[in-house]
Amino acid sequence: MEQTKRAAVYCRLAQADDEAMALQKERALRYAAELGYLNPVMYADNGASGLSFDRPAFSAMNADIAAGKIGAVIVLSVSRIGRNRIETLAWIDKTVRKGIVLKAWDGSLESQIWTLTGWHDECNQIFGKRKTTRA
């Protein structure tokens, strides 16, 4: 029997704040339900900087993605994934290439994916036209 993939809801706050985290979780779960994900897995890092990708819940979510347990990741904003733009774009690229659906309540993921794919297209246009020479 094939295992059903579930949605992951990921929340993060740089400064630990239980009340703010509860509100973020509630809003993210409501958004997940609006998208049709009624029983998502919650991953939350309360008090973890977005500059580091070495966060307990984020790492657990990535392990579940790698294990094929997760089919979608839902966040309120791309900034919840990370604050380092290069690492965040690399994570988005890697995750999308695995077939994972990414959704952000504020629409920021869609613009980041567009930026990422636009950047790839631009690089292909620039570097694809260059001829390489070897000494």
Fold classified for 6-128: Rossmann fold (3.40.50)
Digit-by-digit pLDDT tens for the chain (135 residues) are: 334 689 999 999 999 999 999 999 999 999 999 999 989 999 999 999 999 999 999 999 999 999 999 999 999 999 999 998 889 989 998 998 899 999 999 887 766 555 555 555 554 554 455 444 444
Residues 6 or more apart whose CB falls under 8 angstroms from that of 89 comprise 112, 115, 116, 119
- C-alpha to C-alpha distances, 81 to 119, 121, 132, nearest whole angstrom: 20, 24, 37
Q: Which pLDDT does position 5 carry in this prediction?
A: 80
Q: Which pLDDT does position 86 carry in this prediction?
A: 87
Domain ranges of the chain: 6-128
Q: Which pLDDT does position 74 carry in this prediction?
A: 96
The DSSP H or E segment spanning 6 is strand 6-13
Reported pTM: 0.79
